[in-house]
Amino acid sequence: MRSVPFTPVTLGASRLGDRPDAEALADALVTSTLGHVDTSNNYAGGRSEQLLGDAIRRAGGLPEGHLVLSKADRDTDGRFDADRVRRSLEESLTRLGLDSLPLYQYHDPFTLTVAESMAPGGPVEALIALREEGVIGAVGIAFGPTGETREYVETGVFDVVLNHNRYTLVDRAAEATYLRARELGMQVLNAAPFGGGTLANGSASYGYHDMPADFSEHVKKVRSLARDFAVDLAAAALHFSLRSPLVDTTVVGIPSLERLDALGALLDATVPDDFFDAVEALGPPPASGNS
Ligand SMILES: NC(=O)c1ccc[n+]([C@@H]2O[C@H](COP(=O)([O-])OP(=O)(O)OC[C@H]3O[C@@H](n4cnc5c(N)ncnc54)[C@H](OP(=O)(O)O)[C@@H]3O)[C@@H](O)[C@H]2O)c1
């Protein structure tokens, strides 16, 4: 199994492109010492990769040891076959101005069943061939739905798994999948430690959806514990993932320079074990509404 030299935190560039400071943010991301960068072929309609590539060119190349990780996406007509995977990689490499990628993940395959994805001549076989050709270092599955993500893990062909919003301070839905991935020798990227924002910015949704009432009550109890312990909730949410032995890297969404500037302090924060014990003592979190 191939492994990726992950940094504890990875800078998520899914929203790169939707703000006026996008160029400056791209420059900061490709030279950041805080961690590698995560993007995808279809983030911001390809603008995320393009902005990162332009920044890499302005910097005269990626700094030594700094990595950009990306993902294969279906085309705009929903096609996600072997040819599309190869074209997706060509597009990614062209935009980024790189010859190869350390990790390329099979991203959000909502339009295909697991069997269709894994069929001979299918998209996953194409990714594995690209790994054998040396143009990809490692192959991953990056997906949300817990049941299907677990099925992809069980195939045993992926080097890494990325799940999101389902292993956080207030949600453990992905825990069994991560445990299984570990048993199989895979690496784990845990994305969206703030549940898409709410645990850091107080937004009303979790995992990009409205919260079910009982889950919302649970989040309120955790917020209240953070106040009791005088703990910053964003720091606690980040450190929940950073301290987990199941997680190789935590992918945090960085939509602006302001959020990048704030990350160092969150990483340096100390969150007492007693706080995490008190959260565990609340019992298993209710379902968050994500499948
Ligand atoms: N299927 C997949 O492969 C998949 C799916 C989801 C995510 N991901 C990856 O994981 C990354 C993270 O996911 P995510 O961005 O959706 O979720 P997240 O990391 O849980 O939340 C990020 C959001 O939290 C807010 N935030 C960040 N730092 C903050 C701070 N210091 N204080 C207050 N608010 C802060 C920002 O929103 P505001 O600035 O708007 O407040 C930011 O957009 C993505 O960028 C992507 O790289 C991959």
Residue-range domain boundaries for the chain: 18-281
Q: With beta carbons less than 8 A apart as the criterion, state whether 157 and 139 touch.
A: yes
Report the share of the chain in percent with pLDDT over 90.
97
The residue written with tokens 């991301």 in the block is: 29
CA-to-CA dists, residue 22 to 15, 47, 95, 97, 264, angstroms: 9, 10, 16, 18, 20
The model's pLDDT over 172-190, given as tens digits with 9 standing for 90+, comes to 999 999 999 999 999 999 9
Task: Pick the residue whose CA is nearest to atom 12 on ligand 1.
Answer: 253
pLDDT at 50 over 90: yes
Could you identify the atom of ligand 1 that is nearest to the CA of residue 192?
20
Chain segment 84-120, per-residue pLDDT in tens? 999 999 999 999 999 999 999 999 999 999 999 999 9
Residue in 69, 112, 68, 73 with CA at minimum distance from that of residue 91:
73
Q: Which of 154, 77, 163, 92 shows the shortest CA–CA distance to 127?
A: 92
Is 0.85 surpassed by the pTM of this model? yes
Taking 90 as the threshold, does the pLDDT of residue 61 lie above it? yes
CA-wise closest residue to 11 among 207, 240, 251, 269: 251
Mean model confidence pLDDT for the chain: 97
Q: Which of 37, 103, 164 to mutate to test the pocket of ligand 1 (most atoms within 8 A of CB)?
A: 164
* Pocket of ligand 1 contains residue 142 by CB under 6 Å: yes
Would you say residue 291 has pLDDT above 90?
A: no
* CATH code of the domain made up of 18-281: 3.20.20.100
Paired strand residues for 94: none
